[in-house]
């Protein structure tokens, strides 16, 4: 090999003024929500180790440092081509853009901007200098609209992951703590930049560092430890075969699903403590299972009952087999709507990964399948209601915000039967201070567009199925052929049409974005009719879903199923010949009552009995 250099750099040193190219043969940007969530949570947890409200900004210099691994670069005539690390660098750039957009201090915004792009001849050039991504990155940085349809894979995924960043960024770091977190991220987070001066050398380094034959995962180490403690060779071989079969099934679900299944199982059944939220607090069961479950099990041999070879075998044959199998079924239900487990899918669409240990918590090996399904229906309904209420009240549902509360739920419902579960979880919902009643101004804002979309899809689908129509939920939330649904404003963005009721455009905009003024309609409709006055597009709503049709009096005459549902439900459906402020208020109340119906806690008792 020729000269190779390795330099540890913080983000400022790595990204300020840098330009990283990606060769055409490099893989696409493919990180998923899970990887983004893990990165953000890791960074947030490390920052919280030191941050305390009231610290001066200068204190950040003495906060702990965090190592994010290495990136491998091939330097060709002064141009840096990424061999390994573009997934992390792309995601870090998206995180920096989000932070930049949220910061209020112009000086600090400028410091962050320097790590995202440089200016030349009045044009922005981003640190990841890839032509096909430039327009997308420009739109994200400036908050401009960007057409998603037909984009290359990396561009489409960048758009999705930026939405994840905005949704998953911890709420406790979003306000007063944000300048501190930005300083810490820039100055105290480090990577090692390994630079070779030929592609051949760079790829040799890459292959050496990623040699899977030499790298044992926590799952591998746990397997070795458990099998080594089974003295009977025949039973050890049988346990080994069972382990391999189960792990293969889990790995078929996706990358690292085997480790995630083990974490969910151990947390659901055995975690009795969680780290306190204060400086210097030590990680406890819940946290250590998430980072080093193989070591945690070794230290918990006695409490886990691992006192003989037979018990080690049972731990694989019964516990791992049972909880791994049900984890796999839950992950499958999270990917595809499954009869009776629809709420698992709904929670997954909100990226609520904490649901799996909570869902597994009440399950017992001796449970019959019908009892297990009852328990899962109860718990998933509880989570669906809790998450939807929080979204309605602009409360975060990200991992860091929810993990402590979910740990408490998981611990309290461990091993309970379905009826007891329903009573306990209904009691928790009754104790919540925020419901659909507590926010009568729920509206669309900069970061909750996808959440609003899903809530509207659920409410629209509920109205249609209760009126006797087939469910179209999947169509509303996912692209259906060439058709894609999006949130439609009943009022076009023309404040001048409403000056008799709104003295300032900002007041009009706030009202226009309230959920009562929104519908879910095909994108083609929005493009064709969205800018029209209400009187001109009201008739066109009759061609679409029942929630849109309900604005028109003909909907109540043409569809006896809908008319019957509107009457029997007691929901305040009514047509609107015009759509003034009072009409939007009426729709806001309709949607609130509809949400209370869709996410009614009585679902839990029904699920326990079904």
Look over the chain and give the mean of its residue pLDDT values, rounded to a whole number.
Answer: 91
Q: How high is the pLDDT of residue 528?
A: 85
CA-wise closest residue to 330 among 364, 377, 365: 377
Choice among 28-42, 52-66, 334-348, 351-365 with the minimum mean pLDDT:
28-42
H or E element, residue 9: strand 4-10
* Residue 342 pLDDT level (bands cut at 50, 70, 90): very high
- Encode pLDDT of 389-433 as tens digits: 999 999 989 888 899 999 999 999 999 999 999 999 999 999 999
Which tokens hold the place of 311? 């018990």
Bridge partners of 74? 81, 196
Please tell me whether residue 485 adopts helix, strand or coil conformation.
strand
Least confident range from 23-32, 355-364, 518-527: namely 23-32
How far is residue 335 from each of residues 375, 384, 385, measured CA to CA in Å?
20, 16, 19
Counting beta carbons within 10 angstroms of the beta carbon of residue 350, is it exposed (0 to 12), middle (13 to 18) or buried (19 or more)?
Answer: buried
Q: Which tokens hold the place of 158?
A: 């960048």
Q: What is the mean pLDDT of residues 589-606?
A: 97
3-state secondary structure of 168: helix
What CA–CA distance (Å, rounded) separates 178 from 171? 10
Q: Tell me, what's the pLDDT at 276?
A: 87
Residue 243 confidence class, pLDDT cut points 50, 70, 90: very high
Q: What was the pLDDT predicted at 207?
A: 63
Give SS3 for 599: coil
Give the three-class secondary structure for 83.
strand
Output the CA–CA distances (angstroms, integers) from residue 503 to 29, 350, 496, in the order listed. Answer: 46, 37, 10
Helix axis angle, 257-270 to 233-253, nearest 10°:
110
The average pLDDT across 571-597 equals: 97
User: How do residues 462-500 score in pLDDT, each as one tens digit?
Assistant: 999 999 999 999 999 987 666 789 999 999 999 999 999
pLDDT tens digits, one per residue of 128-172: 888 889 999 999 999 888 888 788 888 999 999 999 999 889 888
In this structure, what token pair is assigned to residue 315?
């731990």
What would the pLDDT profile of 213-241 be if each residue is shown by its tens digit? Answer: 445 688 988 998 899 899 998 999 899 99
The answer to whether the CB of 71 falls within 8 A of the CB of 20 is no
Q: How far are the Cα atoms of 152, 252, 510 from residue 500, in angstroms, in the given order? A: 46, 60, 16
Using pLDDT thresholds of 50, 70 and 90, give the confidence band for residue 91: very high
* SS3 state of residue 556: helix
DSSP string for 350-397: TT-TTHHHHHHTT--TT--HHHHHHHHHHHHHHHHHHHHHHHHTT---
Name residue, tokens 């901007």.
113
Angle, helix 342-349 to helix 449-466, in steps of 10 degrees: 160
Q: Which residues, in sequence order, are bridge partners of residue 486? A: 521
* Confidence bin at 447 (pLDDT 50/70/90): confident
**Band of pLDDT at residue 209, cut at 50, 70 and 90:** low
Distance of CA 101 to the CA centre of its chain: 20
For residue 485, CA distances in Å to 61, 237, 340, 465 come to: 47, 53, 25, 18
pTM of the model: 0.82
β-pair partners for 488: 519
DSSP characters over 188-219: HEEEEEEEESSHHHHHHHHHHHT-GGG---HH
pLDDT at 1 over 70: no
- Residue 231 CA, chain-centre distance (Å), reads 44
Backbone angles phi, psi at 76, to 5 degrees: -115, 105
- The interaxial angle of helices 449-466 and 153-168, nearest 10 deg, is 90
Helix (H) / strand (E) element for 268: namely helix 257-270
Task: Identify the residue whose tokens are 């930026």.
Answer: 162
How does residue 308 score in pLDDT terms, banded at 50, 70 and 90? very high
- Mean pLDDT (whole number) for 182-206: 84
């Amino acid at each position: 090999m020729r000269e190779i250099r390795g330099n540890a750099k913080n983000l400022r040193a790595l990204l300020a003024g840098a330009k990283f190219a990606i060769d055409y043969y490099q893989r696409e940007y493919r990180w998923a929500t899970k990887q983004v969530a893990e990165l953000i949570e890791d960074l947030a947890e490390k920052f919280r180790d030191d941050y305390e409200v009231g610290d001066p900004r200068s204190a950040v210099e003495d906060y702990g440092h965090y190592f994010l691994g290495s990136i491998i670069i091939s330097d060709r005539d002064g141009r840096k081509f990424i061999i390994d690390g573009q997934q992390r660098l792309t995601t870090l750039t998206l995180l920096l853009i989000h932070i930049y957009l949220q910061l209020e201090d112009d000086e600090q915004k400028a410091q962050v901007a320097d790590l995202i792009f440089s200016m030349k001849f009045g044009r922005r050039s981003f640190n990841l200098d890839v032509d096909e991504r430039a327009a997308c990155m420009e739109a994200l940085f400036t908050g401009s609209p960007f057409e998603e349809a037909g984009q290359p894979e990396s561009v489409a995924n960048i758009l999705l992951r930026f939405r994840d960043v905005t949704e998953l960024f911890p709420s406790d770091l979003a306000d007063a703590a944000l300048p501190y977190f930005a300083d810490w991220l820039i100055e105290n987070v480090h990577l090692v930049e390994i630079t070779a001066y030929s592609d051949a050398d760079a790829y040799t380094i890459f292959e050496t560092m990623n040699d899977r034959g030499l790298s044992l995962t926590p799952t591998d180490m746990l397997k070795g430890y458990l099998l080594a403690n089974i003295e009977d060779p025949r039973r050890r071989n049988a346990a080994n075969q069972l382990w391999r079969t189960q792990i293969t099934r889990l790995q078929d679900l996706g990358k690292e699903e085997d480790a995630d299944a083990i974490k969910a199982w151990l947390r659901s059944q055995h975690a009795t403590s969680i780290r306190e939220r204060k400086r210097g607090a030590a990680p406890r069961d819940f946290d250590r299972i998430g980072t080093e479950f193989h070591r945690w099990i070794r230290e918990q041999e006695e409490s886990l009952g691992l006192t003989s070879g037979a018990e080690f075998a049972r731990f694989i044959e019964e516990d791992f087999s049972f909880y791994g199998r049900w984890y796999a079924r839950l992950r499958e239900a999270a990917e595809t709507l499954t009869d009776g487990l629809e709420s698992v899918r709904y929670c997954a669409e909100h990226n609520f990964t904490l649901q799996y240990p909570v869902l597994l918590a009440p399950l017992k090996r001796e449970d019959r399948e019908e009892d297990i399904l009852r328990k899962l229906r109860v718990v998933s309904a509880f989570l669906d209601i809790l998450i939807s209420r929080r979204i309605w009240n602009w409360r975060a549902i990200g991992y860091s915000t929810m993990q402590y509360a979910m740990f408490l739920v998981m611990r309290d419902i461990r091993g309970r039967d379905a009826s007891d579960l329903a009573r306990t979880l209904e009691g928790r919902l009754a104790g919540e201070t925020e419901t659909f009643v507590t926010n009568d101004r729920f509206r669309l804002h900069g970061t909750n567009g996808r959440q609003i979309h899903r809530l509207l899809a659920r409410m629209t689908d509920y109205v249609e199925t209760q009126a006797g129509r087939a469910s179209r939920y999947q169509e509303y939330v996912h692209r259906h052929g060439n058709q894609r649904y999006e949130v439609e404003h009943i009022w076009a963005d023309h404040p001048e049409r409403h000056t008799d009721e709104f003295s300032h455009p900002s007041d009009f905009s706030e009202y226009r974005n309230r959920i009562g003024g929104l519908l879910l309609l095909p994108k083609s409709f929005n493009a064709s009719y969205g800018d029209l006055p209400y009187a001109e597009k009201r008739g066109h709503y009759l061609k679409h879903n029942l929630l849109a049709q309900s604005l028109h009096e003909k909907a109540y005459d043409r569809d006896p199923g809908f008319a019957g549902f509107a009457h029997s439900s007691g929901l305040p459906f009514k047509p609107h010949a015009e759509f003034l402020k009072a009409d939007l208020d009426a729709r806001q109340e309709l949607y609130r009552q509809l949400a209370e119906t869709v996410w009614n806690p009585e679902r839990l008792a029904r699920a326990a009995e079904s």
